[in-house]
Structure 1
Amino acid sequence: MKSISATITLLFLSFLTYGQQSALLNELKNKYEPYYQATHIKMGILLKQNDHFLATRLNFDNDRNTVFNIGSATKTFTAILILQEVERGTLKLSDSIGKFLSPIQNISGSLSVEQLLRHETGLAETVGNQEWDAYHIPTDSILRADVLQNVKPQNKKQIGHFVYTNTNYILLGQILEKINDQSYFDLLKNRIFTPCGLKNTYPYVSKSITNLVHPTDELNEQDQYQGINYKFFADYAFAAGSIASNLEDMALFYEHLYKKQTLISQKSLLQMTNFKNGKYGLGLQKLTIDETEYWGHGGNNYGYAFRNFYNPQTGDMILYFINRFRVPMKNSLNKDLKAILNHQSIPKFRTYKTKEFKDFIGEYVLDGLNIKFSIFEKENFIYFQMQHLKVPLVSYEPNVLLDVSSGIKFMKSSENPNQLIWFQNRKKLMAKKTLLNID
């Protein structure tokens, strides 16, 4: 009887804890949803602790099958395929890429596979610096060959130093195809998707995918679904950022990678997570939230952002996506999600009327740096904008506005009504209003 009673007590406590976390997740939804709703952002969140999942959606129906582009999180998949080749004996991390690929302009054949994996090649970026984006492709002639023809000269001073470059993983995809005489996309399906039982994961984004969340551009907040061209993801982003998936599939994938050894051996996982006193391993990053270490690899692409955090000590997971290139309020969001997993309450933003900060609104320039930015009001929210970066400002205390993504805090100068004080990383800068607000 004592054993039965103890089991019932544990089940009750587990249910109680799960209910508390669900309530906290609902508080988080209420905290962020008004800000994301004002800028047409759709977000999906999935938390995993022990065998429990907690999920919520901001600004759209709670459909767990919603698919999105995982962006550069694709690099983890590519690194796994490379490590599988190492385990098969078909390549070594020390092998030069010239052993597998024909000469490519501005790409040294002496670079090693491991240098590609660690972004230590000094190669120039070829994806992400073009003058057009995924939804404004000038022609339909995008081919992978075109991508590699546009690589700028290598910076040899950067060899051996971490400089993140998509070009590295595009080349790794090419190597995988050369070794296997098979497409990278078929390798993904046969050696990762199927063994992990991924049901809503696709090698690249296309309009044919059911339940694909519509990408939205940064500046105008407009739906870009009709502009999707699969060639951008398949031929351009390729092994650096092509994959589409949903949160549950991604959680299952990480479970197989980190805990079940379905894909690679424990030895290979240790290689992936050897960050060499830095923050980048082999297709994985060392991430931190409030000094707690996580493993993962974020992804940003035109109209999509994805974040994933795996705690190697506890097995806890934090995963979320939005239909935008950047994640507004991400630092605050990350801390709050971690707090929910730790059964801690999350702080609320102050409720304020925009007239409280009427004198903050205007165009500014930072003294001594000539950096221009603006603070403006839209639909009863106040925003900070610098070039294409636009984020909502919140308040935790009277007469103070905060960008919880970057940590910038704005206060009114007591000495000059046309100046703002910009606080960031313990530094204090003055911003002078250049265009006065006129009623």
Structure 2
Amino acid sequence: MKKALYLKHLLLVIIFLAFNSQSKIYAQTLESSIDNLLNVKYSDSTPGGTFLISKNGNIIYKKAFGLANLELNVPMEADNVFEIGSMTKQFTAISILMLMEKGKLNLDDKITKFIPDYPTNGHKITIHHLLTHTSGIKSYTSMKKLNEISKQDLTPLELIDFFKNEPIDFVPGEKFKYNNSGYVILGYIIEKVTGQSYANFVEEQIFKTLKMTASQYASNSEVIQNRASGYQDNEGYINTREISFTLTYSAGSLMSSVSDMFTWQEAIKNNLLISKKTTEKAFTNYILNNGEPINYGYGWNIKTINNIRSFEHGGAIWGFKSMGVYLPDLDIYVIGLTNCLCNSPTKVTREIAELAAKY
């Protein structure tokens, strides 16, 4: 009897050790596979990036590649801070949903409720249309006159005045067309209903609440700890051009680190800012007037990677590119932040998510 019990315990120990050993081998194989991908893409002498992977709420990979500053030959560190460009739209969308839960607005509110003189030419343009890029409003970043205002400090209404009289691209709800103007208007709506600037609202209601201490609204003049320098490749690396962040505003003016973006993803997953029911609105694949899906929710693309559901979004702003991918059915998150407009992390971040899904 004692011998049988001993053999049973011994077998359990062997199984446990074998499982542990196999898990470590898988982890090492995954790490080396990702290292190989990123070392090829971001060399020690070029602008680089930082990458983080989490699974089931635990960080399983976090590394830095390349240089944070070319002139001083400063290596990238895993906690460097980057401009995240259009990943800002996630924060704008969630801010709108937070205000909806507080009864400050409705998603079917017309934009003329907040900007009475906005020329809709008889069309009904709603907050929902803005969130889903289906408003038909001309995206100001596609306008040839953009350079004329790129360094001017504008109020949100002055920026809206820049594009509001442009002809619409289509009737609201008829097409999906990625649109920065819509998210600028959303930022103004946040200011209108809260009495706070967009920057203050996001920093107080999101960053401070979640203790995202490395995240903030971008600034050219402020000294920002761990900031990575931004570059462009123009037949050789050059320092990125300086713009006014009033230009990118609620469509693309936030800064963060991979650790803070992991905190953000966990907050979304665990419904820390809005309810589960409201969170589902952000990840619904919405449809056009004709019933065709747009593969976009509120601030996230709704896609698949090898038939696995993926919620993802990238960002591009002068000097920086970013990409975040979340596989909800496997609880895998991959975030990549880079400091050159020249070397996008989009494809490699999706490849890393695909790799992580196999382990």
| Alignment TM-score, normalising by the size of structure 1 | 0.69
Displacement, 1:112? 0.9
Could you list the runs of 5+ residues in structure 1 that have no partner in the other structure?
A: 345-439
- Match for residue 29 of structure 2 among 20, 39, 47: 20
After superposition, the Cα gap between the structure-2 partners of 1:342 and 1:282, relative to the gap in structure 1 and judged at 3 Å, is closer
Contact preservation (8 Å) 1:205, 1:243: no
- Match for residue 251 of structure 2 among 229, 240, 255: 240
Kindly report structure 1 stretches of 4+ aligned residues shifted beyond 6 Å.
2-5, 106-109
Matching residue of 1:169: 183
Name whichever of 200-209 and 169-178 sits farther off: 200-209
After superposition, the Cα gap between the structure-2 partners of 1:209 and 1:279, relative to the gap in structure 1 and judged at 3 Å, is same
Matching residue of 2:205: 191
1:294-333 aligned within 5 A: 294-328=310-344, 330-331=346-347, 333=348
Q: Which SS does the other structure have where 1:210 is aligned? A: coil
- Match for residue 138 of structure 2 among 116, 124, 131: 124
After superposition, the Cα gap between the structure-2 partners of 1:336 and 1:173, relative to the gap in structure 1 and judged at 3 Å, is closer
AA aligned to 2:87 is: A
Give distance in 2, aligned partners of 1:74 and 1:328. Answer: 17
Give distance in 2, aligned partners of 1:335 and 1:153. Answer: 36
Identity among equivalent positions (%) equals: 22
Contact preservation (8 Å) 2:321, 2:345: no
Give distance in 2, aligned partners of 1:91 and 1:329. Answer: 36
1:140-151 aligned within 5 A: 140-151=152-163
Give distance in 1, aligned partners of 2:208 and 2:312. Answer: 21
Give distance in 2, aligned partners of 1:68 and 1:130. Answer: 27
Matching residue of 1:340: 355
Displacement, 1:165? 1.0
Contact preservation (8 Å) 2:123, 2:172: no
Give distance in 1, aligned partners of 2:305 and 2:333. Answer: 12
Matching residue of 2:54: 48
Could you list the runs of 5+ residues in structure 2 that have no partner in the other structure?
A: 1-8, 68-74, 287-292
Q: Which SS does the other structure have where 1:275 is aligned? A: coil
Q: RMSD over aligned Cα, in angstroms? A: 2.8
Task: Say which one has the larger Rg.
Answer: 1
After superposition, the Cα gap between the structure-2 partners of 1:6 and 1:186, relative to the gap in structure 1 and judged at 3 Å, is farther
Contact preservation (8 Å) 1:201, 1:249: yes
Displacement, 1:159? 1.6
AA aligned to 2:37 is: L
Give distance in 2, aligned partners of 1:282 and 1:115. Answer: 10
What whole-Å deviation, never above 9, does each CA across 1:102-130 have from its counterpart, x for those lacking one?
A: 41356878411111111111111223535
**Structure with the higher helix share, 1 or 2:** 2
Name whichever of 240-249 and 42-51 sits farther off: 42-51
Higher relative contact order (Cα pairs below 8 Å, separated by 6+ residues):
2
Contact preservation (8 Å) 1:103, 1:109: no
Give distance in 2, aligned partners of 1:128 and 1:218. Answer: 21
Displacement, 1:239? 0.7
Matching residue of 2:172: 159
Q: Which SS does the other structure have where 2:335 is aligned? A: strand
When the two structures are aligned, how many residues end up with a matched partner? 333
Give distance in 2, aligned partners of 1:267 and 1:278. Answer: 21
Matched, 1:31 2:40: yes
| Alignment TM-score, normalising by the size of structure 2 | 0.83
Contact preservation (8 Å) 2:322, 2:344: no
Displacement, 1:237? 0.7
Give distance in 2, aligned partners of 1:337 and 1:254. Answer: 17
After superposition, the Cα gap between the structure-2 partners of 1:246 and 1:286, relative to the gap in structure 1 and judged at 3 Å, is same
Contact preservation (8 Å) 2:314, 2:346: no
Contact preservation (8 Å) 1:83, 1:264: yes
What whole-Å deviation, never above 9, does each CA across 1:265-297 have from its counterpart, x for those lacking one?
A: 111111111112321111111133344321022
Give distance in 1, aligned partners of 2:283 and 2:138. Answer: 25
Give distance in 2, aligned partners of 1:189 and 1:329. Answer: 26
Q: Which SS does the other structure have where 1:257 is aligned? A: helix
Matched, 1:272 2:282: yes
After superposition, the Cα gap between the structure-2 partners of 1:112 and 1:216, relative to the gap in structure 1 and judged at 3 Å, is same
